[in-house]
Amino acid sequence: MTVRIGFIGVGGMAEHHIKTLQRIEHAEVTAVYDINQERSQEVAAAYGAKSFASSGQMFDSGEIDGVFICTPPFARGDIEEQAARKGIHILSEKPVGLNVADARRKEQIIRESGIIHTSGYCLRYLDTVAKAKAYLADKKIDLILSYRLGGLPGPRWWRMIEQSGGQLVEQSTHQMDLIRYLAGDVKEVSAIHEQRHLRNIDPEATAYDVGTVSFVMESGAIGNITSSCLANYVGRGGIEFFGHDFYVMVDIPTLRIVDDHQDITEVSKMDFYYEQDKAFVEAIRNNDPTLLLADFSDAVDTLEVTLAANDSAAVRQPVVLETGKER
Ligand SMILES: NC(=O)c1ccc[n+]([C@@H]2O[C@H](COP(=O)([O-])OP(=O)(O)OC[C@H]3O[C@@H](n4cnc5c(N)ncnc54)[C@H](O)[C@@H]3O)[C@@H](O)[C@H]2O)c1
């Protein structure tokens, strides 16, 4: 069976997925829709797909089995619900919206529909992350340090906090998600966000450009993620896990493990987007959601932690997360 794939939103990330899917057996990109219809037609022509005038028309067409949702975070509307109700499988790019209540409502509809569902937490697919997960499974983690330092992403919506959610929600969400994947849930966050320079670049920008969030894990471990989108001379994206008897560093694409018996460094050769997109295609072909390493619910859980950090930054107070979520 060939899995027919549609795209909603065909900007930079979507085009990368489309190119990746061209290398994946049993996958065919058949349909695209972008609110910018010129862009939609251009991408359709470049990749041999059909351009649609709305997401609804695409979902009603019977021409797709799965959909990649690649609109910016503020423009998710009811796309996931529409797809789920039509039985169309979903890969919804991170972050899956900017409001937890909306995302939880979508989660319920998606889960009840029985479709295959996942999000774009592609770093989970690295073999080095799998090794770190296996190593850390029986370890007592005490401290977690992480960074997301780099330059300013291109899209204008990115620098508007009401459209992107800010760097932690939109970008360092990858680090927060890996921390949750490797070390369990977060129960409390305390964040500081400041805008230091961004308005000199764009006078209307509302996002912060330096931010730090401290957190307490359900295990009792504590940690921190520090982010900046104006770190133009150094890039960092790693996560360090400290325990009294080990040290683990997960970077992209490097893994280091140090304990009394070893000091190993491995560099992954994997293309994590390829692995993720292939897993989605195979999960649809085989009707097997266990091939996917993150589902929509995982994405909502990570979103909830990062939005709680925004709440904390707004009031300069710690925020305690709800625990014991039902699945
Ligand atoms: N997983 C990753 O590593 C990764 C990397 C980059 C971006 N992303 C995510 O992918 C998503 C898209 O990011 P991008 O960099 O491609 O942005 P982009 O601005 O390049 O593209 C977004 C596209 O969506 C279209 N669009 C906007 N509103 C729409 C709507 N209502 N309906 C249909 N189309 C609409 C725009 O016209 C644009 O073509 C974001 O959620 C981002 O966080 C993920």
Cis ω for the linkage preceding 253 (within 30 of 0): yes
Type and span of the H or E element at 78? none
Q: Is the CB of 303 under 6 A from ligand 1?
A: no
Type and span of the H or E element at 19? helix 12-21
Nearest CA to 7 out of 123, 94, 93 is that of 93
User: Per CATH, the architecture of 3-122+273-294 is what?
Assistant: 3-Layer(aba) Sandwich (3.40)
Q: Is the CB of 8 under 6 A from ligand 1?
A: yes
Q: Which residue has the tokens 């001379």?
A: 233
325 pLDDT tier (thresholds 50, 70, 90):
low
Name the superfamily (CATH) of residues 124-268+304-320. Dihydrodipicolinate Reductase; domain 2 (3.30.360.10)
The tokens describing 21, both together, are 């899917």
327 pLDDT tier (thresholds 50, 70, 90):
very low
Percent with pLDDT over 90 in the chain: 98
**Which part of the chain is CATH 3.30.360.10?**
124-268+304-320
Note the pLDDT of residue 322.
82
Whether 326 shows a pLDDT value over 50: the answer reads no
**Which part of the chain is CATH 3.40.50.720?**
3-122+273-294
pTM of the model: 0.97
Q: What is the number of alpha carbons within 13 Å of residue 283 lying toward its C-beta?
A: 23
Task: Summarize the confidence of residues 41-46 as an average pLDDT.
Answer: 98
Note the pLDDT of residue 323.
66
- What is the distance in A from the centroid of ligand 1 to the CA of 158? 10
92 neighbors 296 (Cβ within 8 angstroms): yes
**Model pLDDT for residues 81-130, shown as the tens digit of each residue:** 999 999 999 999 999 999 999 999 999 999 999 999 999 999 999 999 99
Q: Which atom of ligand 1 is nearest to the CA of 121?
A: 1
Q: Is the CB of 9 under 6 A from ligand 1?
A: yes
244 neighbors 251 (Cβ within 8 angstroms): no
Give the gyration radius of the chain's Cα atoms.
20
How far is residue 155's CA from residue 291's CA, in Å, rounded to a whole number?
32
How far is residue 230's CA from residue 282's CA, in Å, rounded to a whole number?
39
* Strand order from edge to edge, sheet including 50-51: 50-51, 27-33, 3-8, 66-69, 89-92, 117-119
261 pLDDT tier (thresholds 50, 70, 90):
very high
How far is residue 306's CA from residue 223's CA, in Å, rounded to a whole number?
14
**Model pLDDT for residues 123-180, shown as the tens digit of each residue:** 999 999 999 999 999 999 999 999 999 999 999 999 999 999 999 999 999 999 999 9
Q: Is the CB of 211 under 6 A from ligand 1?
A: no
Task: Mention every residue, 6+ apart, whose C-beta is less than 8 A from residue 17.
Answer: 7, 68, 70, 273, 277
